[in-house]
Amino acid sequence: MDSRRPGALAGKLIIDLSRVLGGPYCTQILADHGARVIKVEPPRGDETRDWGPPFHEGDAAYFLGLNRNKRSLGLDLSIPAGREVLLRLLRDADVLVENFKPGTMERWGLGFGEVLGERFPRLVHCRISGFGNDGPWGGFPGYDAIIQAMAGWFSINGETDGRPTRHGLAMVDMGTGLYCAIAILMALSERENSGRGQYLDMTLYDCAVSLMHPHIVNYRLSGKIPGPTGNAHPNISPYDTFRTRTADIFIGAGNNRAFARLCRELGCPELAGDARFRDNIDRVNHRDELKMELESRLIRMDGEEVGDRLARAGLAAGPIHNTAQVVDHPHTRHRQMHLERDWYRMTGTPIKLSRTPGALRSLPPRYGEHGREILREFDFDEAAIKALVKAGAVLLERRA
């Protein structure tokens, strides 16, 4: 990540009031690509600073992986002086991101419809909540696992006939962060024509439902309630984990041509002409028999070797790696998906732009590290800064 060149979002100012995962993941994407992000933290800080181990100098890896390229300002928005500081920051802001419980900003006199949209007509206000402001579950708290459960993710995850299981990644939060980044960029693009900002109503629930593909669409057409299929795909076969002599590998063959090539590579070309496996629907209907046939060949082979050979033959296949193997894999390094600077060792950005690449410009901030610096930039003099700190509106250290 080349920090010498300006990013695609250079010149954009993001005020980030969000905490935990979805919002900070969104704003880190924007920050990686040049946006100026001010992370406004409540008196006790972003709680993910405590979500360890492991830690580096008191901050958890969980926090450090989501907050690079940002500056931190400790601010108590529950008191009027803190809200006045925020309003000063929003004077020049392009985007406000927050994930307070619905109604909180309105109680503080900072609602978009009543205040912010009128006072800052070019502002894009992105609110992230569990379920939104209204509806049967409007205003209820929502966390990744609860949304996974309610949006059906548990029900289709895990082994066949197993108990409903949470996904090992917080993909509701991260997926919502990605959707928010897209929504913000759309709103900024539209603003180029209209000159006006707008309010973005983003919910974990909506994003989780939208990501339930192909299970919801399958259900809507068939009327059959999907269940877990383990590592197998409900619509494609072979698309599953297979045992080898060493490591397990995953193989996907999504069409007849790929399946025939797979059979040739495994030394069983006759399977491609077997009536049980001729077309994808046949292979789906006989998936257990097909898996047995393929594994009877694969079990004599080295997993890494056969995965490499199948990939070189143009097939989608690869060994199953643990986290350490992913980090150490030469392709991870080649794709610059592992960043290192001093003690900081985290994942890189997957967004690769040729002229305006993402960059690691600054390491994750300590709590309130840039408070005085930020206030000076927004025309607060030293006497005003001292008064704000004394009043507890601006915090330079976390409150216990």
- In the chain, the number of structural domains is 2
Which secondary-structure segment (H or E) carries 304?
helix 303-312
Q: Is residue 282 part of a domain?
A: yes
Q: Is residue 227 part of a domain?
A: no
pLDDT confidence bin for 29, thresholds 50/70/90: very high
Final residue of a domain: which of 328, 344, 370? Answer: 328
The boundaries of the domain holding residue 201 are 13-211+335-395
Q: Which of 3-7, 110-114, 197-201, 312-316 has the lowest mean pLDDT?
A: 3-7
Beta strand residue intervals within 212-248, DSSP E: 239-242
Q: Is the pLDDT of residue 243 over 90?
A: yes
**Average pLDDT of span 150-158:** 96
Cα Rg of the chain, angstroms: 25
Tally of CA atoms within 13 A in the half-sphere of 302 that contains its CB: 4
Res 19: pLDDT: 97
Task: Identify the active-site residue in 46, 173, 282, 379.
Answer: 173
Res 6: pLDDT: 84
Q: Is residue 226 part of a domain?
A: no
| Integer Cα distance of 156 and 166 in angstroms | 10
Name the amino acid, one letter, at 202. M
Q: Is residue 264 part of a domain?
A: yes
Check whether residue 177 and residue 60 sit in a common domain.
Answer: yes
| Integer Cα distance of 311 and 320 in angstroms | 14
Q: Is residue 305 part of a domain?
A: yes
Q: Is the pLDDT of residue 75 over 70?
A: yes
pLDDT confidence bin for 228, thresholds 50/70/90: very high
Check whether residue 169 and residue 308 sit in a common domain.
Answer: no
Sequence-separated (6 or more) residues with CB below 8 Å from residue 134: none
Q: Is the pLDDT of residue 2 over 60?
A: no
Check whether residue 125 and residue 156 sit in a common domain.
Answer: yes
Check whether residue 263 and residue 129 sit in a common domain.
Answer: no
Check whether residue 281 and residue 341 sit in a common domain.
Answer: no
Output the pTM of the full model: 0.93
Considering only CA atoms, which of 279, 273, 276, 218 is closest in space to residue 253? 279
Check whether residue 83 and residue 126 sit in a common domain.
Answer: yes
pLDDT confidence bin for 161, thresholds 50/70/90: confident
- What's the CATH number where 207 sits? 3.40.50.10540
DSSP letter for 362, please: S
Of 69 and 160, more confident: 69
Check whether residue 120 and residue 171 sit in a common domain.
Answer: yes
Check whether residue 272 and residue 302 sit in a common domain.
Answer: yes
DSSP letter for 369, please: T
- What's the CATH number where 252 sits? 3.30.1540.10
Res 76: pLDDT: 98
Q: How does 129-154 read in b/e, with b if 16+ C-beta sit within 10 Å? A: bbbbeeeeeeeeebebebbbbbbbbb
Examine the residue annotation and report whether 161 is marked as an active-site residue of this protein.
Answer: no
The 3-state DSSP composition of the chain as helix, strand, coil percent (nearest 5) reads: 40, 15, 45
Q: Is residue 129 part of a domain?
A: yes
pLDDT confidence bin for 1, thresholds 50/70/90: low
Q: Note whether 68 and 35 are within 8 A (CB).
A: no
State pLDDT tens for residues 115-146: 999 999 999 999 999 999 999 999 999 999 99
Res 278: pLDDT: 95
**What is the pLDDT of the chain when averaged over all its residues?**
96
Check whether residue 206 and residue 263 sit in a common domain.
Answer: no
State pLDDT tens for residues 95-123: 999 999 999 999 999 999 999 999 999 99
**Average pLDDT of span 324-350:** 95
Query: Based on the number of CB atoms within 10 Å of its own CB, is 35 exposed (0-12), middle (13-18) or buried (19 or more)?
Result: buried
